[in-house]
A and B are shown apart, each in its own frame.
Chain A
Amino acid sequence: MFGNILIWFVIIPVLMMAGLGLCRNSSMAAIRTVMVVGSTILLALAIWLCVDFLALRAAGNDAEMLFTGSWMWYAPLNIHLAVGVDGISVLMLMLSAIIVFAGTFASWKINPLPKNFFLWFALLSTGVFGFFISIDMFTMFMFYEVALIPMYLLIGVWGTGRKEYSAMKLTLMLMGGSAFLMLGLLGIYWHSAPEGGELTWNILEIAKNNAVDPSWQNLLFCFTFVGFGVLGAMFPFHTWSPDGHACAPTAVSMLHAGVLMKLGGYGCFRIAIYLLPAAANELAWIFIILTGISVVYGAFSACVQTDLKYINAYSSVSHCGMVLFALLMLNTTAMTGAILQMLSHGLMTALFFALIGMIYGRTHTRDIRQMGGLMQIMPYLGVCYMIAGFASLGLPGLSGFVAEMTIFFGAWEDSDLFHRVFVIAATCSIVITAVYILRVVGKLLLGKVQDEHHWQLTDATWFERLSTVTLIACIAGIGFFPNWINETIQHSFLPIVQAIQNAI
């Protein structure tokens, strides 16, 4: 069991928690050491996995999932701890590791109770990593819940503003989604053996047998897609996102928008679309309407917000809406674009929230009307913010452009009027994005300094620089050399698209 590299993605965060448990509450140095060592190992592990994976693929190993392993956990219900990764999961693990790494440095000076904060933070990462390595629906769901619960405490204790309200709202809404999800997963489980064999939770087996009865698929698709869609901030279930992000501490916002929201999109194609392809073909239009609304609606809402975090939360609604929107196009190119958008949005939003945290830590306000001309005072943070903004509005050379273009070209493959109208509406969002990004940049960074006290503020410290440079390097890396990622993702989508084709 321990010979499988994937298991270590769960073990290491658990070890980190154990290590943190041994630290004294006041010993900041020890806590930081544990976190830095742990997150660096995770990052190294993710890179190693990625290289190994690509090498195996290059060597001609065309199995759908690599590094698979399965261990019985609860025999009466046939629940396994089953792990395995394809190209998409590898990239998602990489994304999570990068953001955990950057998040650690972004919360370098967390206060109060640093030990407890990092404990929950590590638990959250356990859930995230566990989710991406699982191919057993039950363990996947379990890890999903493990990732959600710490959020309540992280926001409720370390947050700002109306933190109790927001934490409660976020948790309740996501739990509501989980309830739907549980129904959907159980339904799939009960229909996983049409010929009367043993019921299974294993995604690959269910997909291979194309098991779920078509008459049940529509209902189960709605349950699972809505369940995951809540986490993916699908209209009208997105309102937890602005409040939750606004109140969450920096690292939590980063991890939440950067990775946790990706769990939604990942689940949507891995379970809802892959296991219920007939329903996906039939019902995609309903969700195309909802997600299409998300894309435009989020962008317009962001235009008039005045709180930096609200702006980015609504922008996330728009961008994550684009992820689900692209997945529902049900062709390889658009779905590849969706994954690229997940990566791009994850990195970019993490960068945004990190920077907002850094600015807020200095100015103690997030209201753009009370700030101005920060570029003169903190040029490093200002330039980073602009880069994040450019990535968000899809400037070539940064990751957002690659993702959006892949989505648009993929989505354009469906030539009926319905798809065309919604794709054109979605493309309009790139103009609206430019409007709200430039509005913020203009008010926050450029122009005259609004508050004389801001002249005393300092630019980024070394750990802040490390955090931002890591993220920017990844954003530019995807933007400059997208094709290897693109190919990896496209290859991973082959079985899923095949399943969709077969179900028509």
Chain B
Amino acid sequence: MGVTLPILILALPFFMFLLLGIGGVKMSRKVAGILGILGMGTTMTLAYIVAFTYFFSGDPAFILDGVRQQFQVFDVTWLAFTEKLVVKIGFLLDPICAMMLVVITTISFMVHLYSWGYMEGERGFQRYYAFLSLFTFSMLGLVVATNIFQMYIFWELVGVSSFLLIGFFYRLPSAVSASKKAFIVTRFADLGFLLGILTLTYFTDTFNFVDMTSNPMNVLAETGGATFMGASVLTWAMVLIFTGGMGKSAMLPLHIWLPDAMEGPTPVSALIHAATMVVAGVYLVARMFPVYCVVDASMTFVTVVGAITAFYAAVVACTQIDIKRVLAFSTISQIAFMMVSLGVASTGGVGDGHHYTGLGYMAGMFHLFTHAMFKALLFLGAGALIHAVHSNDYTKMGGLRKYMPITHWTFLIGCLAIAGIPPFSGFFSKDEMLAAMFNNNWIWGAWMTMVAGLTAFYMFRLYYLIFWWEENPDYAHHKPHDAPWQMSVPLIFLAAVSCVAGFIPFGELVTWNGAPYHIHLEAPVACTSIIVALAAIALATKMYMKKNDLPTKFKNALPGLWTAAHRRFYWDEIYLFITHKIIFGCISKPIAWFDRHVIDATMDGFAKVTQKVSFAIRGMQSGNVQAYVLWYFFGALALAFITWICLL
């Protein structure tokens, strides 16, 4: 493959960013919108060409003896720290990268198109498209990274694009503080990522992914068995790197920024905070997968963090009122699902379990793909609802199925997909993940099946409260209606993908080592998960389809739990306490005070003392000759005395 297409895939969105960012002021909205959509459409086409060439051309550079290869299209030096540690910017083509190219450009294009309708009439329309292009550029740069430092560079860039887009409505104080929070929390996580890179590359002497992952035992050997506080340094490095992933992918306890990030425009939430950027953490673990596998402790860490987060987020999602927050917590929970799936996978050797070793990896990536589609669909659907009702709360909705049929049917497909009902896409990927978890340890399997049940419950709770329940009387004077075509087309397209994506032979395309993997459904696991999901949906139907007082009864039965879940188990309060009370109150303020009143006062003190002393001895220079003679006399006497002492 030539370098032209890959370079264009990166260069085009960046060019669009500059064009719309600098020239946007002079453009009309229409021109800016069309340019943005065309630019993204072209990028998408190019990405499709690259991905299809990679998967289906049969070129020996891409597939050799049935095993898919990693192929560095180009890799140019950007900055040489030392002779060995050289940062390069390149384009690594392998199964997960090709898959991500498709996911990112598809969703990004859909969001570009959708935004044309959704953002109509908003101030800063041109700026919005510029930021979308910047984000797409950064995200593409992240997934094609040939080395961990390139990934870090683009990791920071997606962080800042996310910051800019969350704070897009910058006149609203809530949007400003949400964007600030998102940036600072992920930045804190990135500090861990950076320290992890420093530690890891101190031993490996290379940033390159292929060098590290093709021979992970070498990486272990290079650390020479060094340990720190009871754990090997490689474990530390991998856990620290994973911290970066926890920040971006909103894993507990660094999840607090994601629900607030819903302050951004809804299409942005669909693109960044549901489908692409938040899975960067999963992608990072997948990228470094072989290295993670050589240190069991780090894999266990990934699994445990994922499992706790998945459950936590699912519980919280059951009690949120804002529909975007429900979806946000659902996203956290689903990403945690992928994390667990990766965590239970291994590159393992031979034997009975051999069939399952890479399953978790494949399933996690499969779910990443299907989840991106149906979660973007759900968010865009939510956008259409918000567009129609002008509120984020389900309390302002209800009975909308009659007024908004397209939104209703596509949203239902999204709900069925995420709940794991066959034949929708979520069922297939979730089933594979659960099979992998059961194979590793039945505890993970059972735990995550429970989370899957909760998922089905809260999604259908949401669905019924929006589209059934009781009609909002306000509809009489403000009748909601379906969105314009720019918004409906993406919904229908994504719904169609969610219906059929499960039948993609994913195991043939994306596996950890490139060798094909034959998917087959595991009847017991599949049956269990379907039964759990159906039971949860039935419960949701009973509780929320028609207006009744069951939900209130439940709430009153467990008031403490409900309030705690509704307040997201007080994580935000804890963070506020740490940042405001401890960091500002107990560190920054005392330091600033110390600086003014101790250090600076000391310096001023020197000056003051000098001045005082000068004033004090000024009297000696009186000009009075008698006084001088007196001083002379005493001086001579003193000198004589000293001389006498010395001579003695």
A-B contact count (CB 8 A): 116
Contact B191 A482 (CB under 8 A): no
CB atoms of A430 and B187 under 8 A apart:
yes
| Interface membership of A28, Cβ < 8 A | no
A376 on the B face (CB < 8 A): yes
Beta-carbon nearest neighbor of A438 in chain B: B180
CB proximity to A under 8 Å, residues B168-188: 170-173, 176-177, 180, 183-184, 187-188
B157 x A397 contact (CB < 8 A)? yes
A409 within 8 A of B: yes
A361 interface residue per 8 A CB criterion:
no
Q: Report the nearest A residue to B123, measured CB to CB.
A: A376
The segment from B72-80, B280-288, B475-483 found at the interface with A is B72-80
Instruction: Please list 9 pairs of residues, one from A and one from B, whose beta carbons are closer than 8 Å in the complex, sorted by A's number.
Output: A297-B591, A332-B82, A396-B156, A406-B81, A409-B201, A427-B194, A428-B191, A435-B583, A447-B173
A385: Cβ under 8 A from any B Cβ: no
Pick from B97-105, B252-260, B361-369, B592-600 the stretch touching chain A. B592-600
A303, A439, A490 — which one has the most chain B CB atoms within 10 A of its CB? A303
Q: How far is the CA of A504 from the CA of B239 in the complex (A)?
A: 36
Q: Which residue of B lies closest to A481 (CB)?
A: B78
Q: Which residues of B contact A487 (CB under 8 A)?
A: 80
In the assembled complex, B646 has its CB within 8 A of some CB on chain A: no
Known: A405-B81, A448-B171. 7 other contacts (CB 8 A): A300-B587, A301-B595, A303-B583, A390-B160, A428-B191, A435-B184, A435-B583
Distance in angstroms between the alpha carbons of A428 and B171 in the assembled complex: 31
Cβ of A333 < 8 Å from any Cβ of B?
yes
Residues of B within 8 A of A184 (CB): none
A residues with CB within 8 A of B: 169, 172-173, 236, 239-240, 243, 297, 300-301, 303-305, 332-333, 373, 375-376, 390, 393-397, 401-402, 405-406, 408-410, 412-413, 415, 424, 427-428, 430-431, 434-435, 438-439, 442, 445-448, 482-483, 486-487, 490
Contact A412 B202 (CB under 8 A): yes
Q: How distant is B343 from chain A, measured CB to nearest CB, in Å?
A: 27
Q: Which residue of B lies closest to A409 (CB)?
A: B81
CB distance from A167 to the nearest CB of B (A): 13
Q: Tell me what chain B mostly uses at the interface: helix, strand, loop, or mixed.
A: helix
- Which of B77, B160, B199 gathers the greatest number of chain A CB atoms within 10 Å? B160
Given contacts A239-B599, A409-B85, A427-B191, contact A395 B173 (CB under 8 A): no
Contact (A438, B592) CB under 8 Å given A396-B154, A486-B80: no
Contact of A482 among B79, B167, B184 (CB under 8 A): B79
B184 near A434: Cβ-Cβ < 8 Å: yes
Interface centre among A173, A415, A435, A486 (most CB of B within 10 A): A435
B641 within 8 A of A: no
A412 and B202 alpha carbons, distance in the complex (Å): 8
List residues of chain B with CB within 8 A of the CB of A390: 160
B446: interface (CB < 8 Å)? no
**Do B171 and A408 have beta carbons less than 8 Å apart?**
no
Q: Is B523 an interface residue (CB 8 A)?
A: no
The residue of chain A having its C-beta at the shortest distance from the C-beta of B172 within the complex is A447
Q: Which residues of B contact A (CB under 8 A)?
A: 77-82, 85, 153-154, 156-157, 160, 167, 170-173, 176-177, 180, 183-184, 187-188, 191, 194-195, 198-199, 201-202, 583-584, 587-589, 591-592, 595, 599-600, 602-604, 607
Contact A304 B187 (CB under 8 A): no
CB <8 Å contact, B187 and A402: no
Q: Tell me the complex Cα distance, A377–B566, Å.
A: 39
CB closest residue in chain A, given B202: A412
Name the residue on A nearest B81 (C-beta): A409
A304/B588 in contact, CB under 8 A: yes
CA distance A242 to B194 in the complex (A): 31
Q: Which chain A residue has the least Cβ–Cβ distance from B603?
A: A239
A333 CB contact (under 8 Å) in B82, B198, B604? B82
Query: Contacts A303-B588, A304-B584, A410-B81; is A434 near B194 (CB within 8 Å)?
Result: no
Shortest Cβ distance from residue B181 to the other chain A in the assembled complex, whole angstroms: 9
Contact A482 B78 (CB under 8 A): yes
- With A239-B600, A401-B156 in contact, do A447 and B191 touch (Cβ < 8 Å)? no
Cα of A446 to Cα of B160 in the assembled complex, Å: 16
> Which A-B residue pairs are the 3 nearest by beta carbons?
A239-B600, A303-B588, A396-B153
| A interface: dominant SS | helix
B195: which A residues are within 8 A, CB to CB?
424, 427
Residues of chain B contacted by A243 (CB below 8 angstroms): 600
How long is the Cα–Cα vector from A446 to B164 in the complex, in angstroms? 11
Instruction: Check if A438 sits within 8 Å of B202, measured CB to CB.
Output: no
Bound-state CA distance A394–B183 (Å) is 13
| B173 pairs with A448, CB closer than 8 A | yes
What residues of chain B lie closer than 8 Å to A394, measured between beta carbons? Answer: 156
Measured between beta carbons, the chain A residues less than 8 angstroms from B78 are 482-483
Point out the residue from A172, A415, A428, A445 that lies within 8 Å of B607, measured CB to CB. Answer: A172
Report A-chain residues with C-beta under 8 Å of the C-beta of B79.
402, 405-406, 482-483, 486
Q: Which of A301, A427, A435 contacts B592 (CB 8 A)?
A: A301
**Cβ A430 vs Cβ B600 within 8 A:** no
A375 and B184 contact, CB distance less than 8 A: no
For the complex formed, measure the closest distance between the CB of A378 and the CB atoms of chain B, giving whole angstroms: 14
CB distance from A93 to the nearest CB of B (A): 23
* B198 in complex: contacting residue of A397, A406, A412, A445, CB < 8 Å: A412
Return A77 CB to nearest CB of chain B, in Å.
Answer: 31
Nearest residue (CB) in B for A332 is: B82
A408, B198: Cβ atoms closer than 8 Å: yes
Contacting residues, chain A, for B587 (C-beta < 8 A)? 300
Q: A236 to B172, alpha carbons, bound, how many Å?
A: 41
What CA separation (Å) do A236 and B167 show in the bound complex? 38
For A173, the chain B residues whose CB sits under 8 A away are 603
- Give Cα distance in the complex from A407 to B595, angstroms: 26
The answer to whether A409 touches B170, judged by C-beta atoms less than 8 angstroms apart, is: no
Please state if A305 and B173 are interface contacts (CB–CB under 8 Å). no
Report how far A427 CA is from B173 CA in the complex, Å: 30
Name the residue on B nearest A237 (C-beta): B603
- Which listed residue, A438, A446, A448, A483, touches B183 by the CB 8 Å rule? A438
Docked pose: A303 CA to B595 CA in angstroms? 13
Instruction: Say yes or no: A375 contacts B170, CB within 8 Å.
Output: yes
